Amino acid sequence: MSLIDSHCHLDRLALDKLGTDLDGVLEQALQNGVDQMLCVSINLENFPEVLRLSHCYENIFSSVGVHPSDDGEEPTLEQLVALADDPKIIAIGETGLDYFYNEGDLEWQRERFRIHIRAARETGKPLIIHTRDAEADTLAIMREEGADQIGGVMHCFTGSLEMAQQCLELGFYISFSGIVTFRNADVLREVAKKVPQDRMLIETDAPYLTPVPKRGKPNHPALVRHVAEHIAEQRGVPFEQIAEATTANFQRLFGTPPVVKNTAHNFV
């Protein structure tokens, strides 16, 4: 049985609160069946650290991108394409639209999203898309820029079943985080029951969104197991079935190799 955390921010883990170092965090992940993880970039300033981690650990992959709410360096198409030219970079993002934390004229955010989609198409690497309070514009830009030609994942999905269906039609996978375990997430649980098994992923978004029953504690990749267990319970299938499916889905989408058991993380 193997699990993959399809979206986390290892460079932002509060290791002091976890009471361990990164090696300890990765060992906890392995003990819970989490063999691989994707460390996702949210700005250019910290991208070198994200990339470094993926080169230090065999079971960590990374992405390059700028979060829609980040106010740091603005990426260019040429820059994203150049930075993505590394075998451990398997995705473009985290990108998308976020109207929850931003107000006023957000054309700059929409243009940033377009640039990421163009970079994904040019590099052939899938997109990691974040959307909040911006479903209509997100879908419109995905269609206008041909996101369906490259595909990707709707990260930390919290939208409606209709939104999920439209994303699936565009060739995207739907990723569920710890939010699906929250008490007030009944609508999202219904989505998790109906998304095709061969089109779903699981994630922690660590250090954020700690799943039940660990709410109030720091999130880390080992806890993605609770997300898988909850979805399996909701769908009325064995946990192993969700673990196997989401692992295969990740490897198919991102083109990563099969998990090799009993190998060390660190190869430097």
- DSSP string for residues in 16-39: HHHTS-HHHHHHHHHHTTEEEEEE
Amino acid found at 201: L
pLDDT at residue 141, as a whole number: 98
Q: Is 122 exposed, middle or buried (0-12, 13-18, 19+ CB in 10 A)?
A: middle
pLDDT at residue 49, as a whole number: 97
Q: Residues 143, 75, 57, 28: what is their CA dihedral angle, to the nearest 10 degrees?
A: -70
Compute the mean pLDDT over every residue in the chain, rounded to the nearest whole number.
Answer: 95
DSSP bridge partners of 64: 92
pLDDT at residue 263, as a whole number: 44
Confidence of residue 103 (pLDDT cuts 50, 70, 90): confident
* Whether residue 216 has pLDDT greater than 50: yes
For strand 172-176 and strand 200-202, is the pairing parallel, antiparallel, or unpaired? parallel
Q: What is the pTM of this model?
A: 0.95
Residue range 113-152, pLDDT digits in tens: 999 999 999 999 999 999 999 999 999 999 999 999 999 9
Domain residue extents for the chain: 3-254
pLDDT at residue 268, as a whole number: 25
* Whether residue 183 has pLDDT greater than 70: yes
| Whole-number Å distance between alpha carbons of 56 and 265 | 8
Whether the upstream peptide bond of residue 207 has omega within 30° of 0, thus cis, is yes
pLDDT at residue 253, as a whole number: 98
**Of residues 263 and 163, more confidently modeled:** 163
Closest alpha carbon to 16 in 207, 268, 222: 207
| Whole-number Å distance between alpha carbons of 66 and 64 | 7
CATH number of 3-254: 3.20.20.140
Residue 84 and residue 119 in contact, taking contact as beta carbons nearer than 8 Å = yes
pLDDT at residue 73, as a whole number: 94
**Of residues 232 and 100, more confidently modeled:** 232
